[in-house]
Amino acid sequence: GINSDILFKEKSNFQHFLNLYDEHINPIAETYAWCLMKNHFHFLVRIKEIEEITSTKKVLPSQTFSNLFNAYTKAYNKWHNRHGSLFERPFRRKQIDYDNYFQNVISYIHNNPVHHRICEHPLEYPWSSYLSCVSEKPTKLQREKVMELFNGLENFKSIHTEKVDCFAIESFLGI
């Protein structure tokens, strides 16, 4: 959030953002991991090639993210009687070319609430994709690909209990 302000004050804020994400981003990207914190969020996505995009509106990926943030900002400002920007710019993105980094970034994203001392294990935090990964419920998350990358659910769980070197990953990601 701009000036590290709160982005999500209530459960309904988190849910609305995820609904907008589903509407705007799922048509143009595959999502591998996500975590919504009160004043920031992380998403690990692969932007689809133009030919893969199923949306009837062919919009540039950068525009769809802008549309998501604008839609959320308008709703948030209305709910909380505020005006102006909600999100800091510029947004950071990093290309991840290696499976090892990919795996580490997923673990980092899921362990973000642990790193910020909100909980002791990602399983305890409701606003991340960790629960979707360990569940069998239908999801738009690329769960099968994530499990393949981690060589199965048990290894996924095991790696998520290991201490994450947040500083090394943040340095790599430029956070």
pLDDT at position 166: 66
Average pLDDT of the residues of the chain: 89
Express each pLDDT in 163-175 by its tens digit.
766 666 666 666 6
Cα end-to-end distance, the chain, whole Å: 14
d(CA 111, CA 52): 31
pLDDT at position 55: 58
Averaged pLDDT, 39-49 = 92
On the question of pLDDT at 79 being above 90, the answer is: yes
Could you tell me if 8 and 48 are in contact, meaning their C-beta atoms sit under 8 angstroms apart? no
Express each pLDDT in 121-130 by its tens digit.
999 999 999 9
Q: Is the peptide bond before 122 cis (omega within 30 degrees of 0)?
A: no
Express each pLDDT in 14-34 by its tens digit.
999 999 999 999 999 999 999
pLDDT at position 162: 82
